[in-house]
Structure 1
Amino acid sequence: MKAGKSCWTCKDRKIGCDKTLPACNNCIRTKRKCAGFGIKLTWPEKYDGRRKAVIPSIYGQGCTTTTVFGPSLALDFLNTTTEDIEVSGSCDLTENPAYAQLLRLNTWTLPTLPLQGFTSDDASLLSYYEGRLARIITTVDDAHNGFRNEILPMALTQQSKASQSLMESVLALCAFHVSGPRQALRHKARALQLLNQSLQADVSEDLSAKLAACMLLCVYGVFDPTDGNWMVHLRGAKGLIGDGLPRSGTQQFISPFLRSWILYHDVLAQFSQMMSGYGSQDSGHVVLPEYTSEKTIIVGSLGCSEELMELVACINQLRGQTVFDTSLIEELRSRLENLTQNIVIKPEQQSRSQSEVIDKVRIHDTAEFYQLAALIYFRRQILQLPPKSRSIQQLVESSLNLISQMEVCTSPWPLFVVACEVHTDEQRLQILQTLKKMELHRRIGNIGVTRMIVEAFWKQQDLVVHDTAKTVMDWRNIVDMAQMTPSFI
């Protein structure tokens, strides 16, 4: 019996085949294994020049090999695993979360090998900080941008261990953002060593540089999810100033930039903690911040006004309390709803580039995004409205509309607050795509951690049967914060 075509062995050898079944005589004579005559599946490993290499897409059209690919914004799946089911079934997260198997955030993949012979061009890193990083970590890039106009002059003085530590912290942050943790490790270790030497001296000496070094190391911990020490550095900064921040007229004046920078991290640290954790306070001692027109100005390092951030701090302190002062709650509600946030731009005396135009629309939208998130946070945690209530969903829809107008969202905290309240697949897809864009354009580690928590929380919501249980679910109950606290900064 003859086959209708040559065997695969003869085809590969490019010789004639007698097509004898079940094995051709050529293979038998040369003592080769006959590959047979059936269908053969192949997966080309490289472009052979005979046809265009095509990568299929979900739209039915191929992309050539010259296409540059980033994270896909086309498909997203929420994959529930057996571990998620175990977390859901181990106990009732809404009643007794203490014994649940929690989501562990720490990855601890930072290499520990010594970086012998590693050198970096410090001038290039400083240029990168001045030209790019100082713009990434602020909403308003004008003459008030303290990341450029205060941090750099303070670091360049090199007159104390604290300023030297600040310089190394700047270099570590830039090296990490450009090349990753391995290249940043030397600068980070040097920054910590110099800061420790500075702290052994008089605490009152060079306080601003010490605070700035602590806070920049805190920012490094936000950028690098394997670091896990952003809260440690924040506590260090707070320890330097005690109960309050020195203001003008005192011997150790702390600039408004440093005050607002510490305030922002402190408030979001409180947000990430359980009620009995960081910064917990009796509701009877909660005092609303004093209103001043100066506090209504949108601060670049915050993304919103200082007044709004102080009101969020009040919500943090009231969260979880069962008895409220109704007059306090009503005043807090009124101030959140009627909040005014003003844009005040102070142009640089010498513009770095005529193309660098400050985008007032983006600044206004970012500040409004924070306000909407604060209202959601207040109504869910203090008024305890159900997530599917009309009041909450209207705020969610307004927030998602704002996000759709942004080229790239730059604010993890309001995005996370909104993400915990979405319910439809379309809304979830918008959140996931927004997070992917943030990861692609900003390359800051806490965004990946944020996405991990959001997806874990959604899966637990999907596994809960009763809507009443979903109403009281708290994302903090599924995150193990023993070794690492998530940052939404």
Structure 2
Amino acid sequence: MPNITRVRTGCWACKSRRIKCDSESQATLAPSREPSLTLSQGRRPKCKRCVIRGLDCDYSLRLIFQEDSTCRGVAHGRSRSSVVQDLIPRPSRRIRRDGPYLFVNTTARDVETYYDISCGHSITGTTTTSVQPEQEDGGGRVLEPSPACGIPALPLPSPSILINFSIYPVLAESTDYDPSLLSYYETVICGSATLLDNEEHNPYRHHVLPMALLSESILHGLLAISAQILAISDPRYRVAALQHGVHATRALSHALQQPKHGDMQLEEMQILTFILCWSDITNHSSSSWLTHLYGMQSMISHNERTSTVIGSNSMHKFLKRYFAFHWVLARTVFALPEEEPDVPGPRGFHHTTSQGQGSPSLSAWTEYLSTHMVLEDMDQVDPYMGMSNSLLLLINEATEIYRSAGSSEHDPCLRAALRSRFRRTKASLNNIHQREPSSANGLDQGANKGEFVAIAEVNRLGALLYLHAMGMFKSPRLCLAEDNVADSDAGDFEYSRLEQEATALMRRILALVTEEFSLVSRCATIPLWPLFVAGCFAHEDADRICVSAVFGKLEALRRFGNITPARRAMQCVWKQHDLGAQDDRKRRKTMVEACDQKESGEESRSIKHFEWEDALKILGNWKLCLT
């Protein structure tokens, strides 16, 4: 049987009739021998079959789409001869080869731990005289520990904690990511949570992680935190974060329903509430973080009244410091329900002015927040907060002045008292000297010392800028430099002076953060709050470009979930400012006239919020966390 040749360059008429086109054979014939053949499509002649039947011989191009080929059940183009069944994905066949096994979830810390144990080192670092046994891999080769394994060695902050997944509680509903999530928490999160990674200043490693050995709910919480942070750059971890977060929340709800709790159960509930608050902040500053923060504070107050040993617990002191830090900065961003705390008694903390005079007239909340603070360590920079306790209390005092300014416009005595508090607070912010903690002096950590200085200075400048913002948006007359200046002379001049000083402070903050970005962004103590306040005052294009560049670098780290909401809120402030830029003179006049109104109701409606408070309401009443 002769071979059948297929022609792919035939005319469309022959293709539609499913017959072989003789265009190729006709093209080889001489024109003189076949005068009946005519040219079609330029130089290509009509085929003999089309000439005999009088058909239109067409060789033009026609587009065939893949969807049409799929519907007809034929192969598309020249890929291969196929039918619809070929379009159905088939499971790939895994070819098993003999060779070494690869563990993709192994970290450098796991390898280092393995080699330490194989070499005969105990957990405490003392050597033993036992002979190292030889081990074989799947291919029959002997594994010999070698220091030059090609993996960078990580520092071991604490030799007393060994990540061994088999000693942790067995979770009823686990995910495939659990071993890597726990290793990520111990290696990355704990290592960058505070400026000093030791037992005194890093409870994430030395208190929370050991509690996961005893509590399944805390283990769920830690895995949820790791998955939440990893989900910022990889969405595959979102499901794991949701699953572990639900288990931790259910465990806390079940524990709260119990009638009685021991000291261990009370501490477990406190840590679990702290973890859930932390997880909500990482989840784009979810508004539920404030609920968990208040719940943690209620547990702390209850435990102080009922327990006799929890007051001396270092974790208990850290949770009180955690609440104070988040609560004070939250008050600067949005309004919180004001309730007078139960102050046990005066602590003696006072402002120091340039003349050396002190005044114990502090607010009730400042006295309450200072109850857990050691007076001798007030000026030491906290490795978790990035600022000293003195600076934190001064920020709270500025907020107290701001909240009380609305009712002082029609009371000369109260206005004079607030003006005096404003000057003392400003003098204290100018004269405060923050130093690194005493535990960092004996360590060879030159970079850490630079971190303490840079972050603390940025926070101090942010507090000064916040104090100026209070005067600009609430009452410029509280910021008068002299007592003998009449209120009628305070008007637009005071606002312009405050605006110039605020612009200078804003640019100092941006310059310092830009120059020392590698230092201020290494740990979780990034100065997000002063950067946000400075960004809200950036009205020039050059300043906004600088702020946007810094936020872009922070977002590129993909470690903090509250960076993006802060940037969006800041951009909303810019939009609101630009929309009212043409009415700036009218806005200043309205603010000055509001101070002269006799009716307090009208005054409270005129100037009530910061610009960022209005922006957060526009975005949907966001509860932004800037810690």
TM-score (normalizing by structure 1): 0.68
| Structure 1 pair 357–124 and aligned structure 2 pair: CA distance change class (3 A) | farther
| Structure 1 pair 172–395 and aligned structure 2 pair: CA distance change class (3 A) | same
Q: Deviations over 1:269-311 (max 9, x none)?
A: 222323xx33467999556556923121111221111221122
1:292 is the counterpart of 2:343: no
Structure 2: state its 5+ residue gaps: 1-40, 46-55, 64-171, 232-236, 342-360, 409-414, 477-493, 592-606
Q: SS of the residue aligned with 2:263? A: coil
Distance 2:306 2:556 in 1: 39
| Structure 1 pair 413–273 and aligned structure 2 pair: CA distance change class (3 A) | same
1:393 is the counterpart of 2:503: yes
| Structure 1 pair 164–345 and aligned structure 2 pair: CA distance change class (3 A) | farther
| Structure 1 pair 434–247 and aligned structure 2 pair: CA distance change class (3 A) | farther
1:215 is the counterpart of 2:274: yes
Q: Which residue of structure 1 lines up, in the alignment, with residue 626 of structure 2? A: 488
Q: Which residue of structure 2 lines up, in the alignment, with residue 407 of structure 1? A: 517
Counterpart selection for 1:147 from 193, 197, 204: 204
Q: Which residue of structure 2 lines up, in the alignment, with residue 205 of structure 1? A: 263
Q: SS of the residue aligned with 1:300? A: coil
Residue pair 1:416, 1:454 contacting (<8 A) in 2 also:
yes
Distance 1:423 1:339 in 2: 29
| Structure 1 pair 181–287 and aligned structure 2 pair: CA distance change class (3 A) | closer
Residue pair 1:125, 1:175 contacting (<8 A) in 2 also:
yes
1:319 is the counterpart of 2:405: no
TM-score (normalizing by structure 2): 0.54
1:344 is the counterpart of 2:461: no
Matches within 5 A, 1:467-478: 467-468=584-585, 469=587, 474-478=611-615
| Structure 1 pair 333–226 and aligned structure 2 pair: CA distance change class (3 A) | closer
Q: Which residue of structure 2 lines up, in the alignment, with residue 272 of structure 1? A: 333
Residue pair 2:285, 2:562 contacting (<8 A) in 1 also:
no
Q: SS of the residue aligned with 1:340? A: coil
Distance 1:247 1:451 in 2: 43
Q: Which residue of structure 2 lines up, in the alignment, with residue 89 of structure 1? A: none
1:260 is the counterpart of 2:321: yes
Residue pair 1:286, 1:314 contacting (<8 A) in 2 also:
no
1:306 is the counterpart of 2:389: yes
| Structure 1 pair 34–197 and aligned structure 2 pair: CA distance change class (3 A) | closer
Worse overlay, 332-341 or 477-486? 477-486
Distance 1:333 1:299 in 2: 22
Residue pair 1:269, 1:487 contacting (<8 A) in 2 also:
yes
Q: Which has the higher helix share?
A: 2
Give the superposition deviation at 1:332: 1.9
Residue pair 2:328, 2:392 contacting (<8 A) in 1 also:
yes
Q: SS of the residue aligned with 1:298? A: coil
Give the superposition deviation at 1:173: 0.4
Give the superposition deviation at 1:245: 6.6
Opposite residue 166 of structure 1, the aligned amino acid is I
Q: Which residue of structure 2 lines up, in the alignment, with residue 424 of structure 1? A: 540
Distance 1:300 1:437 in 2: 22
Counterpart selection for 1:361 from 450, 473, 480: 450
Residue pair 2:381, 2:456 contacting (<8 A) in 1 also:
yes
| Structure 1 pair 347–479 and aligned structure 2 pair: CA distance change class (3 A) | closer
Opposite residue 189 of structure 1, the aligned amino acid is V
Give the superposition deviation at 1:25: 6.9
Q: Deviations over 1:62-102 (max 9, x none)?
A: xxxxxxxxxxxxxxxxxxxxxxxxxxxxxxxxxxxxxxxxx
Opposite residue 516 of structure 2, the aligned amino acid is M
1:436 is the counterpart of 2:552: yes
Distance 1:182 1:360 in 2: 40
Distance 2:320 2:366 in 1: 18
Opposite residue 433 of structure 2, the aligned amino acid is T
| Structure 1 pair 391–475 and aligned structure 2 pair: CA distance change class (3 A) | same
Opposite residue 319 of structure 2, the aligned amino acid is L
Q: Which residue of structure 1 lines up, in the alignment, with residue 245 of structure 2? A: 188
Opposite residue 151 of structure 1, the aligned amino acid is V
Opposite residue 147 of structure 1, the aligned amino acid is Y
Larger Rg over CA atoms? 2
- Aligned length in residues: 379
Give the superposition deviation at 1:407: 2.8
